Structure 1
Amino acid sequence: MNPVVLINGVEQDKISVFNRNMQYGDGLFETCVARDNQILFWPRHYSRLEIGCVKLNINKIDEGVWLSDIKKAFELSSKKNCIVKLILSRGDSLRGYGYRDDIEPVRVVIVSEMNQPLFNKEFSLEYAKSGFHSNPQLAGIKHCNRLEQIIARSSLSSNEAIMLDEKENIISVTQGNIYFIFGNKLLTPKLDSCGVVGSRRSLILELAMSLKMEALESKISINQAQKADEVFISNSVIGIQPVHSIENHKLGQNPLTEKIQKAFLSKTKEISSWTCP
């Protein structure tokens, strides 16, 4: 399947060289999973996009416009189960970091084929040789400048890498959030200074609490992580995946991870997440 690409609602795949996303990474993006032409957890994706617009002062695109574009892209695509990527650029401008107040944002929708899900894949992690730099203004949002993750992935010898901040606190893996289970307590790194708040992250914390677990955001050190009973990672495409090793440290069984994963998979089957207009 060739990807279907819409730019501002028109089927095309060429964008201006003056686009600020191309020049500076001045934009936001979301990677969504569609099942039967329905976006899973759409409200969580759109909410993060809105928060990003506020933080970066990008003119917001109305939700109805996005949904109309997505519906059109689905109609042009032959796949009902697919990956939908949304990109929002601040717009086009000439040289310089400054921009006009009335700059028009550029929106992109890309629908592409979904590979087989990675369920039961054995994830092994290592510690990345480079990490995040703190910037509370950018913390949490999914902006389009991802050089920190690109550099971290460039020397991978395992499935994924754990990224740290300047104080050597664990932040995330390169393509998702990370969670540590200690007894009946679930901890995930606090993301108030850097990192991306994943679209599934708050749901996972909610599911853990529904299973009578204590679920908290916290600063997590390497030494603390080594004492975890279970570790798992998440993102919108792979869902929840257990971690079997962190470098030379082997992890055992994953009973609580499996319970959370089962509850999560049950949620993904609820077709009420979003209905195409």
Structure 2
Amino acid sequence: MVNFNGNILEEEHAISINNRGLNYGDALFETIKATHGKLLFWEDHYFRLMASMRILRMEIPMSFTMEFLNEQIVELLNRNNLLNKTVRVKLFINRKEGGLYLPDTNNVDYLITVKPLESDFYLLDETTCQVDLFKDYFVSPSLLSTLKTNNKVLHVVGSIFAKENNLQNCFVLNTDKHVVEALNGNIFIVKDHVIKTPPLEDGCLKGIMRKQIIEIIQSMPEYSLEESSISPFELQKADEIFITNVIVGIQPVTGYRKKIYKNELSKGLLQKLNVKIRLTN
């Protein structure tokens, strides 16, 4: 079951062939982790969504309060018997049907889908995560590249490239040949006691988990955080690299080409992340 504009429907009845997200990529989405009916980092997701809708000149309905959208998600969890589970929630917003490149209206539809996950907490995945650079196409840095839109062809092709080359992920470059993100999350590199992550100006996604990890690192006096451009050369010199997103939390990178990495900081950060969640939810 899905929630389409407040109506609980079977999946096959939710999207028409004229959907503007389907036809023109005229859509945004938020991927949210919910645990036992509680939406993790919901305020951050909500405000990112509102800011993104404004940037794309979508009309924000008066009903789109934090409370309303939370209620719509929880109702869908209840109807799918998932209130006592940990779930991936996808909140999809598209401009209503009509028009070609120029839409007939800036009003929006919303669609919510849910899918169960295995663990209530963020767990450290110590399985192999071998990465390389994906250099076929590049991110053009702009405000649009920081948004979570459904224009993800580069990441789809990059994921196919990774699979064909027995890789678990790839790093994406921008047009200045700086490393900006992984295929499915933001990246952090560690060298001695300095932790670097690409700045939004380089074109990386304005990730919700990126924000949480930055806040945790800033509370750790033994480390300094830099939001600055990362060259591919720095990957070889790093002591540790990890990828962040709201579903897995922190994914340590085990290897890049012939380089092997540690994961001590990833373990510590993951513990602090789970503590932060218990204290705030």
- TM-score, length basis structure 2: 0.89
- Return the offset for 1:233: 0.7
Q: Which whole-Å CA distance do the structure 1 matches of 2:202 and 2:180 have between them?
A: 9
8 Å CA contact retained: 1:124, 1:159: yes
Work out whether 1:77 is the aligned partner of 2:80: yes
Q: Which whole-Å CA distance do the structure 2 matches of 1:135 and 1:92 have between them?
A: 29
Residue matched to 1:99: 103
Residue matched to 2:278: 269
Q: Which whole-Å CA distance do the structure 2 matches of 1:132 and 1:196 have between them?
A: 14
Which residue, 135, 146, 150 being the options, matches 1:140? 146
Residue matched to 2:206: 197
Distance 1:186 1:111, change over 3 A: same
Which residue, 216, 224, 249 being the options, matches 1:214? 224
- Return the offset for 1:16: 2.1
Residue matched to 2:50: 50
8 Å CA contact retained: 1:139, 1:192: no
Residue matched to 2:252: 242
- Return the offset for 1:17: 1.8
Aligned-CA RMSD value? 1.7
Residue matched to 1:185: 194
- Read off the aligned partner of 2:270 and give its amino acid letter: Q
- TM-score, length basis structure 1: 0.90
| Structural mapping, 1:32-51, within 5 Å | 32-51=32-51
- Percent identity, aligned pairs only, is 26
Greater per-residue helix proportion = 2
- Read off the aligned partner of 2:102 and give its amino acid letter: G
- Read off the aligned partner of 1:166 and give its amino acid letter: T
Count residues with an aligned counterpart.
Answer: 266
- Read off the aligned partner of 2:88 and give its amino acid letter: I
8 Å CA contact retained: 2:196, 2:226: yes
- Return the offset for 1:104: 2.3
- Read off the aligned partner of 2:160 and give its amino acid letter: S
Stretches (4+) displaced over 3 A:
115-118
Q: Which has the higher contact order (CA 8 A, sep 6+)?
A: 1
Q: Which whole-Å CA distance do the structure 2 matches of 1:42 and 1:210 have between them?
A: 22
- Read off the aligned partner of 1:200 and give its amino acid letter: M
The alignment partner of 2:125 has SS state of: coil
- Return the offset for 1:269: 2.4
8 Å CA contact retained: 2:135, 2:173: no
Q: Which whole-Å CA distance do the structure 1 matches of 2:244 and 2:137 have between them?
A: 19
- Return the offset for 1:170: 0.1
The alignment partner of 1:226 has SS state of: helix
CA deviation string 1:224-245 (max 9, x = no partner): 2211111111101100121111
Q: Which whole-Å CA distance do the structure 1 matches of 2:192 and 2:248 have between them?
A: 25
Which residue, 139, 150, 160 being the options, matches 1:154? 160
- Read off the aligned partner of 2:269 and give its amino acid letter: I
- Return the offset for 1:135: 4.3
The alignment partner of 1:127 has SS state of: strand
Which residue, 117, 133, 136 being the options, matches 1:127? 133
- Return the offset for 1:193: 4.4
- Return the offset for 1:5: 0.6
Any unmatched runs of 5+ in structure 1?
none
